[in-house]
């Protein structure tokens, strides 16, 4: 099947029920998206599918065949970080940072549809993403301060 990922087209032969997460991580070696719960309830595996933050762990790969998938690896353009990535760096919004990829993806999806989100809108968009180290205040600050 043909997959559109980070601006590239991949022709890949995997079982249709394989999770998008495994396809990315195991076969395409894009390991930036992380396994956290396997149930779509922690946010660590989120990727953009046609611009929507989507849990890749419960998304069968066949379902994204004609869609645009963007992972954490595909956000920077020509070496220039996405403003959300830059804002995370500016705030040092990391601890163990295993959740970062999913956090950044959720925030990018939010900013794409709502360039100036309120505090409550940020909370609503990020509520699925667990940061076990609880770096939440800096993550909130990064998203609030990120340039549109």
Partner 1 sequence: MNTQQHTVSRRDFIRISAFAGGGLVLGFNLFSSCSPQQGEGVIYDLNAFVKIDTNGAITLMNPNPEIGQGVKTALPMLVAEELDVDWKAVKVEQAGLDTEKYRRQIAGGSGSIRDSWESFRKAGATARQMLINAAAATWGVAPESCTTEKGQVVHADSGKKLGYGKLVEQAATMEVPADAAVKSITSFAIIGQWIPNVDNRAIVTGQYKYGIDTKREGMKYAALVRPPAFGQTLKSYDDTEAMQQQGVEKVLRIDNKIAVLGRSTWEVMQGAKKIKAEWEDGPTMESTADYLRNFRETVAKRPAGNPQRKDGDVQRAYQSGGTKVFEAVYEAPFLAHNTMEPMNFFADVRADGVELYGPIQTPERTRTTVAKLVDMPEEKVTVMMTRMGGGFGRRLMSDFVEEATLVSKAAGVPVNLIWSREDDMGGGYYRPMCTYRYKAAVDADGRLTAWQHQSVGTTGSPARAGSFPAGAVPNLQVDAQEYKTPVTTAPWRGPIHNFIAFSEQSFFDEVAHAVGKDPVAFRLEVLDQAKQQPTGELEYDPDRFAGVIKKAAEMAGWGASKGPNIFQGIAAQYSFNSYVAQVAEVEKRDDGKLKIKKIYCAVDCGIVVNKSGAENVVEGGIIDGIGHAMYPELTLTRGKPDQVNFNTYRMIRMAEVPEIDIQFIENDIAPTGLGEPGLPPAGPAVANAAFAATGVRLRTQPFIKSGLFA
Q: Which chain residues interact with partner 1 by CB under 8 A?
A: 15, 18-19, 21-22, 25-27, 29-39, 41-42, 44, 71-73, 75-76, 81, 85, 88-89, 92, 94-101, 104, 122-123, 126-140
Residue 50 or 96 with smaller CB distance to partner 1: 96
Q: Minimal distance in Å, beta carbon 2 to partner 1?
A: 20
From CA 89, how far away is CA 142, in angstroms rounded? 8
CB-nearer residue toward partner 1: 11 or 79: 79
Phi, psi of 125 (to 5 degrees): -75, -25
* Distance in angstroms (rounded) separating the CA atoms of residues 28 and 82: 22
- Please report how many Cα atoms fall inside a 13 Å half-sphere around the Cα of residue 88, on the Cβ side: 21
Tell me the closest approach of the beta carbon of residue 96 to partner 1, in angstroms.
3
To partner 1, the closest distance from the beta carbon of 50 in angstroms equals 20
Given a contact cutoff of 8 angstroms between Cβ atoms, the answer to whether 40 and 33 are in contact is no
| Rounded least distance, CB 24 to partner 1, Å | 10
Q: Give the C-alpha separation, 99 to 46, whole Å.
A: 10
């Amino acid at each position: 099947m043909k997959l559109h990922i980070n601006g590239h087209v991949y022709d890949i032969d995997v079982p249709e029920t394989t999770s998008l997460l495994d396809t990315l991580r195991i076969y395409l070696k894009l390991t930036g998206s992380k396994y956290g719960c396997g149930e779509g309830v922690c946010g660590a595996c989120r990727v953009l599918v046609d611009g929507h933050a989507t849990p890749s762990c419960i998304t069968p790969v066949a379902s994204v065949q004609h869609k645009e998938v963007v992972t954490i690896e595909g956000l920077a353009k020509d070496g220039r970080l996405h403003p959300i990535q830059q804002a995370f760096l500016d705030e040092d919004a990391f601890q163990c940072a295993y959740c970062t990829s999913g956090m950044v993806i959720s925030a990018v999806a939010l900013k794409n549809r709502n360039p100036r989100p309120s505090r409550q809108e940020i909370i609503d968009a990020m509520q699925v993403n667990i940061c076990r180290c609880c770096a939440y205040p800096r993550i909130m600050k990064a998203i609030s301060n990120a340039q549109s």
